[in-house]
Amino acid sequence: MIVFDKVTRSFPHNGQGRVTILDNLSFSVPRGEFLCILGPSGCGKTTLLNLIAGFLMPDSGTLSVRNTAVTAPGPDRAMVFQEPTLFPWLTVLQNVMFGLRRQGITRSSCRKQALHHLEITGLAHAVGEYPFALSGGMRQRVAIARVLALNPDVLLMDEPFSALDANTRERLQDELLALRTTHSRATIVYVTHSVSEAAYLADRIIILGDRGNIARDISVTAPHPRERSSAETLELKTLLRTYLGELCSCIPSRRKQLRPS
């Protein structure tokens, strides 16, 4: 579904040339996979999502989704951010309908689809509310309903639950897994800092290291539903922490490796 082929991406850095964030990155994500990306802060996780979304372009290399090179954002890919970006002047229903309307779907079909997705995300009672009246968890549910309504092939999630309290986070994780089973076949690329979240959700976990190199690529074979505190999950979490610990000192070194623009 998603193929990175020798993708490199750099950014300008303090007027001193450019710093390479992802360097010659190659990997692929099969259709339907739930891939979690872990890695130290600044290693390029969000950059990787932005490239798939088409918000950024590679400096070199190619990135394709369904065998088509990504050259711009498109309705086949949708992103959920850490802070849900809802329109404050629109109701919950209107927020979910907004993206559908832009796809040229008729108003009545939009409404039907939006209501369906608000129902499956547990928000049927809140369709007429404005975002300011919702809890953080409810706002994030609206954001998820909005992207699921678009029925994307690829769902990109950038620490979507990290700003929520632990109970809400765990509930939304369970809801996401349930939605995935019942309503969406999307391929999911999910960035997180939480080893618990990765161990609970992922079919596969990639740990990015310096310059976005793939430090580890781990298949998680435990079936769903998983126990959060089973021996298997705890063992995986310990392993992930060990791998991340091995990487934690490598990111500052990149700052010394500036190259001329």
Binding site for ligand ATP (CB under 6 A): 11, 21, 39, 41-47
* Structure-block tokens of residue 136: 């953080």
Quote the least distance from Cβ 70 to ligand ATP, whole Å: 17
Question: Which residues are paired to 4 by β-bridges?
Answer: 27, 63
Q: How far is CA 178 from CA 132, 188, 258, in A?
A: 27, 14, 45
Quote the least distance from Cβ 173 to ligand ATP, whole Å: 19
Q: Is the CB of 15 or the CB of 88 nearer to ligand ATP?
A: 15
Q: How many CA atoms lie within 13 A of 222 on its CB side?
A: 20
Quote the least distance from Cβ 61 to ligand ATP, whole Å: 16
Quote the least distance from Cβ 45 to ligand ATP, whole Å: 4
Q: Is the CB of 32 or the CB of 42 nearer to ligand ATP?
A: 42
Q: Is the CB of 180 or the CB of 216 nearer to ligand ATP?
A: 216
Q: How many CA atoms lie within 13 A of 8 on its CB side?
A: 9
C-alpha torsion sign, points 70, 72, 78, 82? positive
Cα three-residue angle 115-117-118, rounded to 5 degrees? 65
Quote the least distance from Cβ 78 to ligand ATP, whole Å: 18
Q: Is the CB of 38 or the CB of 186 nearer to ligand ATP?
A: 38
Mapped onto helix, strand or coil, the DSSP state of residue 260 is coil
Q: Is the CB of 46 or the CB of 91 nearer to ligand ATP?
A: 46
Q: Is the CB of 138 or the CB of 155 nearer to ligand ATP?
A: 155
Q: Is the CB of 39 or the CB of 131 nearer to ligand ATP?
A: 39
- Is the separation of the CB atoms in 245 and 34 below 8 Å? no
- Is the separation of the CB atoms in 186 and 152 below 8 Å? yes
Q: Give every CB contact of residue 259 below 8 A, 6+ residues apart in sequence.
A: 10, 17, 18, 20
Q: CA 218 to CA 33: how far, in whole Å? A: 13
Quote the least distance from Cβ 43 to ligand ATP, whole Å: 4
Task: Report CA 193 to chain centroid distance, whole Å.
Answer: 12
Question: Which residues are paired to 248 by β-bridges?
Answer: none
Quote the least distance from Cβ 233 to ligand ATP, whole Å: 23
